[in-house]
């Protein structure tokens, strides 16, 4: 029989708390693209089990072993700074605060769920399952003209999947890159014939959503990440490999322009892209207060108050962000805020890449250790893709966008801890 005492006993068990947290977080990853309910309700539920887990056995948690707590404190100071220095503190607080349950909890959940190789591998499978289902939703929308869950139609001829907007392609690229570690594992386990068939069967639906989602930012992130991975995975850097790394993405882009060179994908469409104008707007906003910025979520009202807004196109000055997360953070929080924001992010990213890269190249690893190192490396590539995507991408505080990055970054830190434990043992 269920009772308060039974629940209290269960919550006092570290194993139960971890399992409950892990299951709810896995459900969150699978249903991530399906709707706001998954992205908003599941992280707080999972976080409650995390708090109970810390209370029961914090000494053996990943957070206890994590050496980057100072960087987390810096990022927390950035969030406070972006509100306190704002021209409209209440608006900034509401914009930043909405991410507590949808974004910032996710890092701690991901860090703790990435306990070891089995757990990280399962998290990657959950991401792959989520991408696969979203790819099938894109195929269904393409065939029927509407989304299978929400009934959304195509948007200006582009797929939206279950995400109801253009960013489905960005989601599939950013969530899908860590899953390529599983594709490598399948290919190695089943051989070239069966392995290639299984990999294609798993990846074709997400690729369909990426291609016909029509997100140029996702194409840029995917091509740049592929070229970067090709460059750094060879033990010796040669001029030929460098040329190939730089040349192949360019050739792919030229091919896209040649075969799909209409509208947004034409040379004139790229040359006259509104992002170039928006970046100029962001620099104008930055110039109003270079040191501390104008505050989170204040880019649009400040742009609309500047002299050039009277003659600027209305559709541009009404946009809430400049389609570049770096310029957005720079103009909204100034030089101080940018340092507080990107110093911890880049420090954790570099640390995770250094540990994963060293272990991947090590010749003295067992099969399980190599599998863990490969998983960590691909989650690191997922973080890299986000950082590239941010050059032309979304609002830095957009819930799904930031949550996906913190998922990758948290799992990467958990994998780094697991690798270091294996190395020490």
Query: End-to-end CA distance of the chain, in Å?
Result: 43
Residue-number span of the structural domain to which 300 is assigned: 73-113+273-425
pLDDT class of 175 with cuts at 50, 70, 90: very high
- Shared domain for 357 and 414, answered yes or no, is yes
Residue 32 is assigned to a structural domain of this protein = yes
- Shared domain for 167 and 287, answered yes or no, is no
- Shared domain for 21 and 104, answered yes or no, is no
Task: Give the separation between CA 44 and CA 272, rounded to whole angstroms.
Answer: 43
- Shared domain for 50 and 83, answered yes or no, is no
- Shared domain for 299 and 425, answered yes or no, is yes
Q: How many residues does the chain have?
A: 425
Task: Give the separation between CA 131 and CA 70, rounded to whole angstroms.
Answer: 33
Q: Is the dihedral of CA 160, 162, 164, 169 positive or negative?
A: negative
Per the DSSP assignment, residues forming a β-bridge with 223 are none
Residue predicted with more confidence, 241 or 331: 331
What percent helix, strand, coil does the chain show, rounded to 5? 80, 0, 20
Residue 241 is assigned to a structural domain of this protein = no
Helix axes 117-144, 180-213, angle to 10 degrees: 20
pLDDT class of 267 with cuts at 50, 70, 90: low
Task: Give the separation between CA 340 and CA 204, rounded to whole angstroms.
Answer: 40
**Residue 159: strand, helix, or coil:** coil
Average the pLDDT over 187-210 and give the result.
93
- Shared domain for 416 and 286, answered yes or no, is yes
H-helix or E-strand containing 274?
A: helix 274-288
pLDDT class of 364 with cuts at 50, 70, 90: confident
Mean pLDDT of the chain: 90
Query: What letter does residue 116 receive in the DSSP assignment?
Result: S
Residue 67 is assigned to a structural domain of this protein = no
Cβ count near 251 (within 10 Å)? 10
CA angle, corner 15, sides to 9 and 17, nearest 5?
A: 65
Number of domains in the chain: 3
pLDDT value for 140: 96
Residue 235 is assigned to a structural domain of this protein = no
Q: Are 261 and 270 in contact (CB under 8 A)?
A: no
What residue ranges in 27-122 does DSSP mark as E strands?
A: none
pLDDT value for 170: 96
If we measure between CA atoms, which residue out of 135, 173, 142, 175 comes closest to residue 158? 142
Q: Are 161 and 176 in contact (CB under 8 A)?
A: no
pLDDT value for 337: 98
- Shared domain for 144 and 191, answered yes or no, is yes
- Shared domain for 22 and 88, answered yes or no, is no
Q: Are 214 and 205 in contact (CB under 8 A)?
A: no
Average the pLDDT over 289-316 and give the result.
96
Residue 142 is assigned to a structural domain of this protein = yes
- Shared domain for 107 and 43, answered yes or no, is no
Average the pLDDT over 374-401 and give the result.
95
Q: Model's pTM, two decimal places? A: 0.94
Residue whose structure tokens are 């994908």: 265
Residue 300 is assigned to a structural domain of this protein = yes
pLDDT class of 127 with cuts at 50, 70, 90: very high
pLDDT class of 385 with cuts at 50, 70, 90: very high
Whole-number CA gyration radius for the chain: 22
- Shared domain for 318 and 348, answered yes or no, is yes
Residue 25 is assigned to a structural domain of this protein = yes
The yes-or-no verdict on residue 243 having pLDDT over 70 is no
The yes-or-no verdict on residue 393 having pLDDT over 90 is no
- Shared domain for 134 and 31, answered yes or no, is no
How far out from the chain centre does Cα 153 lie? 26
Task: Give the separation between CA 123 and CA 132, rounded to whole angstroms.
Answer: 14
Tokens of 40: 């908003």
If we measure between CA atoms, which residue out of 175, 177, 157 comes closest to residue 166? 157
Residue 287 is assigned to a structural domain of this protein = yes
pLDDT value for 9: 85
- Shared domain for 283 and 395, answered yes or no, is yes
């Amino acid at each position: 029989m269920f009772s308060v005492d039974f629940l209290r006993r269960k919550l006092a068990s570290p194993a139960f708390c971890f399992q409950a947290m892990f299951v709810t977080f896995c459900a969150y990853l699978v249903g991530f693209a399906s709707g706001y309910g998954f992205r908003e309700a599941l992280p707080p539920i999972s976080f409650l089990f995390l708090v109970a887990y810390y209370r029961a056995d914090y000494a053996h948690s990943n957070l206890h072993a994590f050496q980057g707590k100072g960087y987390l404190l810096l990022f927390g100071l950035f969030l406070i700074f972006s509100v306190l220095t704002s021209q409209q503190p209440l608006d900034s607080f509401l914009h930043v605060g909405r991410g507590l349950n949808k974004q910032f909890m996710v890092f701690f959940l991901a860090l703790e769920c990435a306990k070891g190789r089995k757990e990280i591998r399962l998290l990657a499978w959950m991401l792959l399952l989520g991408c696969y289902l979203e790819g099938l939703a894109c195929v269904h929308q393409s065939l029927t003209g509407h989304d299978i869950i929400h009934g959304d139609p195509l948007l200006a001829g582009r797929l939206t999947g279950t995400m109801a907007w253009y960013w489905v392609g960005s989601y599939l690229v950013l969530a899908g890159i860590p899953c390529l570690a599983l594709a490598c594992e399948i290919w190695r386990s089943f051989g070239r014939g069966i392995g290639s068939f299984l990999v294609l069967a798993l990846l074709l639906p997400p690729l369909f959503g990426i291609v016909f989602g029509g997100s140029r930012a996702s194409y840029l992130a995917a091509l740049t990440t592929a070229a970067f991975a090709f460059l750094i995975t060879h033990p010796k850097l040669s001029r030929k490999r460098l040329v190939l790394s730089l040349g192949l993405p360019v050739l792919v882009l030229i091919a896209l322009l040649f075969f799909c060179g209409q509208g947004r994908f034409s040379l004139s469409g790229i040359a006259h892209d509104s992002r170039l104008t928006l970046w100029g707007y962001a620099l104008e906003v930055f110039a109003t207060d270079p040191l501390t910025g104008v505050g989170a979520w204040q880019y649009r009202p400040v742009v609309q108050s500047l002299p050039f807004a009277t003659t600027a196109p209305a559709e541009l000055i009404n946009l809430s962000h400049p389609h570049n997360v770096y310029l957005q953070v720079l103009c909204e929080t100034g030089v101080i805020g940018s340092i507080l924001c990107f110093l911890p992010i880049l420090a954790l990213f570099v640390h995770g890449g250094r540990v994963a890269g060293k272990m991947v190249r090590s010749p003295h690893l067992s099969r399980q250790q190599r599998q863990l190192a490969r998983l960590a490396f691909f989650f690191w590539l997922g973080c890299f893709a986000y950082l590239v995507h941010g050059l032309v991408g979304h609002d830095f505080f957009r819930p799904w966008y930031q949550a996906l990055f913190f998922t990758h970054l948290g799992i990467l830190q958990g994998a780094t801890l697991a690798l270091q434990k294996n190395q020490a043992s």
